[in-house]
Amino acid sequence: MMIDWQHFTWPAALLGGLLIGIAAAAFMLLNGRVAGISGILGGLLRWQAQDRAWRVAFLMGLVLAPLLYSSARQMPDIPIGASYPLLLVAGMLVGFGTRLGNGCTSGHGICGVARGSLRSWVATGVFMGVGIVTVYVVRHGLGYWA
Amino acid sequence: MTNLIALICGLLFGLGLIISGMTEPEKVLGFLDLAGRWDPSLAFVMAGAVSVMALAYGIARHRSPAVNSRAATVDKNLLLGAAVFGIGWGLAGICPGPALVLLGTGSAKGAVFFLGLLGGMGLFERWAKYRNTRS
């Protein structure tokens, strides 16, 4: 294994992670809700959507975060390598999969893992493992894109 | 008040995603690419977030021991759903939280991913309803 020292930014990663944790912790302790993004978004698409207001408020916070960030520092330019069709397909897989599996990186990977939930530990292991295999196949297995 | 707290938590969560690098698909893919030049940064994001959250659960349990004690088992849907999510995550390097933040940056590619995300979730709701009417 080769470590990419040039892109290894652990202080920023740790700081950002702590902020994410504080946000999720405040959301649970003050509002009694799990900060699982796929569940919050998916709940709006239910046939009988439940408690719309707080869901929309939380999601608006995420959408407005770049605006807040850019008021203090310049927002980094974020390149997205995948093509438009691939992004559409990937988005659909992420949407369907997170609803079927009842959670994503935030709900299972952070909140559930922190709670010691077996389901979340298993789900996190599976989506990380499958993600690693997918990246391997795309970058090294098929010989394109890298 | 609940909605104001939700908005502030969403903003903080989003700032954390930006600062940590989770909103940069290339960085996420660099973390998942064990066979290439591996960028371990995202492990630190998880470590930071999980440690704060574990502390919060400790407080919540202290307040009310009944919190989060519901038993739940690993089932086929959990495994299948996590696997499908993993494929999508590995293809684009974007998960639901960063998708919303990217939408807010005005990125056209971010918006297309978000459309797919909504489509996939909508498809799930249709399928879940169909499944329920059959059983």
Residue B91, C-beta contacts closer than 8 angstroms, at least 6 positions apart:
A82, A86, A89, A90, A93, A134, A138
Does any CB of chain B come closer than 8 Å to the CB of residue A58? Answer: yes
- A113 token code pair: 């893992």
Q: What is the pLDDT of residue A146?
A: 45
Show residues of chain A in contact with B14, CB under 8 Å.
61-66, 68-69
Domain map (residue ranges) of chain A: 15-141
For residue range B55-67, what is the model confidence (pLDDT) as tens digits? Answer: 999 998 888 766 5
Inter-chain contact A94–B94, Cβ cutoff 8 Å?
A: yes
- The alpha helices in chain A, defined as continuous H runs, are 10-31, 37-44, 52-72, 84-100, 113-115, 118-136
Closest residue of B to A47, CA-based? B125
Q: At B79, which amino acid appears?
A: L
Inter-chain contact B10–A129, Cβ cutoff 8 Å?
A: no
- Is the ipTM beyond the 0.85 threshold? yes
- B69 token code pair: 């004690």
- In angstroms, the separation between the Cα of residue B14 and the nearest Cα of chain A is 5
Exposed, middle or buried: residue A126 (CB in 10 Å: 0-12, 13-18, 19+)?
A: buried
Provide the percentage of residues in chain A whose pLDDT is more than 90. 80
Say if residues B129 and A47 touch (Cβ distance below 8 Å): yes
Q: What is the mean pLDDT of chain A?
A: 92
For residue range A124-145, what is the model confidence (pLDDT) as tens digits? Answer: 999 999 999 999 999 998 655 5
